[in-house]
Amino acid sequence: MNDCSPLADSSPRLSASRERLPIGGLMALATAGFITILTEALPAGLLPQMSAGLGVSEAMVGQLVTLYALGSLLAAIPLTIATRGWRRRPLLLIAIGGFALVNSVTALSNDYWLTLAARLLAGVFAGLLWALLAGYASRMVAPHLQGRAIAVAMLGAPLALSLGVPAGTFLGAAVGWRWSFAIMTALTLILLAWVRWQVPDFAGQTAEKRLGLRQVLRLSGVRPVLFVTFTYVLAHNILYTYIAPFLVPAGITADIDQVLLVFGLAALLGIWIVGALIDQHLRLLLTISCALFASSALVLGLWINSPFVVYLTVALWGLAFGGLPALLQTALAKSAGDSADAAQSMLVTVWNLGIAGGALVGGMLLQGVGVTSFPWTVAALVAFALAATLRAVR
């Protein structure tokens, strides 16, 4: 597919293998995403234990998540640009191996500032890893299977959020938070061997084929995808970050675990649907995702006091959001071609800006006009994403 692929990519044997999904290799990439998200989110579920263990307040432990996101935000683009000429598998192994290092430090450290530095470094490795995954998955298969391959490779993130974080929190309560991070290190070491065995190597991009960031941004389709990414993720995180106060009008704050479970299960269903149809109906699926999210937000705004409506719209929201990462990354990979990794690094940066912006805007709305403003704000933002999607389709 890419001109930067090694000569061996064109061999009859490898060409034949690209006509089917390499499930072993793609699941290894998905596991890398799983470990990345679990490493990021685990402190949020272990705040009291880590606070006591490190001798700092829970608010200070919360900054372990902030520094991780900051590392990803700052490192994704420059690291990806700097390593475009590297062979892909060694670079992937370095990114994954970094998690074994930082989780080991987190498990053993008694010093808060050392732990904080490890979390910043973890974010750096995460920014590089997420920039690699979609482009890597797309190079492992023929063009007509790229969307499905990316959908499989992206499966680790929603699984980590819906199943991994609750399991890690339970494990931390049972055996201690340090053992949770030590187990993460062990899983990462196993993953390194799995990637070396199942994931093929590819050449880096030759110097004459490397485009500058401005040139990548000018490629047809790249800017619309990044715009949709920012507006959609911003809207999503306004709701997701402040889901607890949002449930107050319906009187179901105590059911937050059940609400999030409904969201997670619906998201998994959305991933399955997208994975089955993405290569044939990429643009249609992205349009439906935007329309479904905007519609569910409008319904929420009209009947925010109804528990039934809240559960129903949360399910529709999860269904719409579940396949979004695969849809956006597939669209970006197809638009950017040989510059897919550079474009994906931009998506990682924009995605993290959306997360940070969602927390900021949601907090301002919560302190100002209250949670009843959330659905209308979300619907307006997603309407912009829908308009950009429809314009790009035309």
The residue extents of the domains of the chain are 7-209, 213-393
Question: Phi, psi at residue 202, to the nearest 5°?
Answer: -135, 155
Least confident of 206-220, 249-263, 326-340: 206-220
For residue range 99-118, what is the model confidence (pLDDT) as tens digits? 999 999 999 999 999 999 99
The residue assigned the tokens 């949601």 is 362
Cα–Cα distance between 314 and 310 in angstroms, integer? 6
Q: Can you give the pLDDT at residue 263?
A: 87
Cα–Cα distance between 144 and 62 in angstroms, integer? 43
Q: Please give the single-letter amino acid code of residue 287.
A: T
Averaged pLDDT for residues 139-157:
85
Averaged pLDDT for residues 115-139:
90
Q: Can you give the pLDDT at residue 17?
A: 61
Looking at the predicted structure, is the pLDDT value of residue 394 above 60?
A: no
Asked if CATH classification 3.50.50.60 holds for the domain at 7-209, the reply, yes or no, is no
For residue range 12-60, what is the model confidence (pLDDT) as tens digits? 555 556 678 899 999 999 999 999 988 887 887 787 888 889 998 877 8
For residue range 156-173, what is the model confidence (pLDDT) as tens digits? 877 777 677 677 777 777
Instruction: Evaluate whether 7-209 and 213-393 have a shared fold.
Output: yes
Averaged pLDDT for residues 325-352:
84
Cα–Cα distance between 2 and 293 in angstroms, integer? 34
Looking at the predicted structure, is the pLDDT value of residue 72 above 70?
A: yes
HEC readout, 256-306: HHHHHHHHHHHHHHHHHHHHHHCCCCHHHHHHHHHHHHHHHHHHHHHCCCC
Share of the chain above pLDDT 70, in %: 92
Q: Can you give the pLDDT at residue 12?
A: 52
Q: How confident is the model at residue 6 (pLDDT cuts 50, 70, 90)?
A: very low
pTM of the predicted protein model: 0.80
Higher pLDDT, 336 or 326: 326
Q: Can you give the pLDDT at residue 3?
A: 40
| CATH class for the region spanning 213-393 | mainly alpha
Mean pLDDT taken over the chain: 85
Inter-CA distances, 154 with 56, 149, 151, 254, 291, Å: 35, 9, 5, 31, 22
Looking at the predicted structure, is the pLDDT value of residue 152 above 70?
A: yes
Kindly write down the DSSP assignment for every residue of 349-387, as one continuous string: HHHHHHHHHHHHHHHHHHHTT-GGGHHHHHHHHHHHHHH
Cα–Cα distance between 8 and 123 in angstroms, integer? 34
Looking at the predicted structure, is the pLDDT value of residue 98 above 90?
A: yes
